[in-house]
Chains A and B, each alone.
Chain A
Amino acid sequence: AQSVTQLDSHVSVSEGTPVLLRCNYSSSYSPSLFWYVQHPNKGLQLLLKYTSAATLVKGINGFEAEFKKSETSFHLTKPSAHMSDAAEYFCVVNQAGTALIFGKGTTLSVSS
Chain B
Amino acid sequence: GENVEQHPSTLSVQEGDSAVIKCTYSDSASNYFPWYKQELGKRPQLIIDIRSNVGEKKDQRIAVTLNKTAKHFSLHITETQPEDSAVYFCAASKGGSYIPTFGRGTSLIVHP
Bound together: no
